[in-house]
Amino acid sequence: MYGDYALRIDLWLGNEADPRNCERIIEIMKSHNILHSGLSGEINSIEINDGTLNFDFTITNKDQSDILILDINKTGLNLFHYFTNGLSIWDSNSNKVFDNSIEVQIPDPWDSYNTDWLTQLKSGESTSFSINYSAETILNPGQYKLLFEFPGLSYQVKKDHLIQNGNRIWLGDITLRKKITID
């Protein structure tokens, strides 16, 4: 999905030590200036009121360089959800109890992007976003797992467009997870 100029290093599942933390590999990548820490994210809150689910999260740039990220306030809700599945909520029995029903807007052409959709996130900086979903589901008291994938661009960005005005476009995606208890 990234072409021949980027490599995603990711850990899918498991409780073992994270093999990405190998000091030898980290030092080799640092010495060639090819290690990018990327983004991290955190789910701040979720509230359900009168058929609306309010979802707030924060994205932080952990990289040494400034990054351009997709900005939901610039794309709009429908176009943003073309790039992500959005928020899902699972109960303690692993049943999906909420899945957003956003009608996605497909870019034209489908494999394109617009730099107007991007916001600069400086190294070490954080930004918060809010999404209001329609929620017919009532969450009963209990424990739930929240899952949200914050998207980046991937196949849309060619190598010669990766850097825009000294900022690198975020290619990856990050998965935000949180466990909550509803009383």
| pLDDT at 14 exceeding the cut of 80 | no
What are the tens digits of pLDDT across the range 32-55? Answer: 877 767 899 999 999 988 889 999
Contact call for residues 143 and 181 (beta carbons, < 8 A): yes
The domain over range 37-182 is classified in CATH as 3.40.50.10190: no
Kindly state the helix (H) or strand (E) to which residue 4 belongs, with its residue range. Answer: none
| pLDDT at 1 exceeding the cut of 60 | no
What are the tens digits of pLDDT across the range 50-108? Answer: 889 999 999 999 988 899 999 999 999 999 999 999 999 999 999 999 988 899 999 99
- Alpha-carbon distance values, 100 to 56, 69, 103, 128, 173 (Å): 15, 22, 9, 20, 18
Q: Where are the domains of the chain?
A: 37-182
Q: What is the CA radius of gyration of the chain?
A: 18
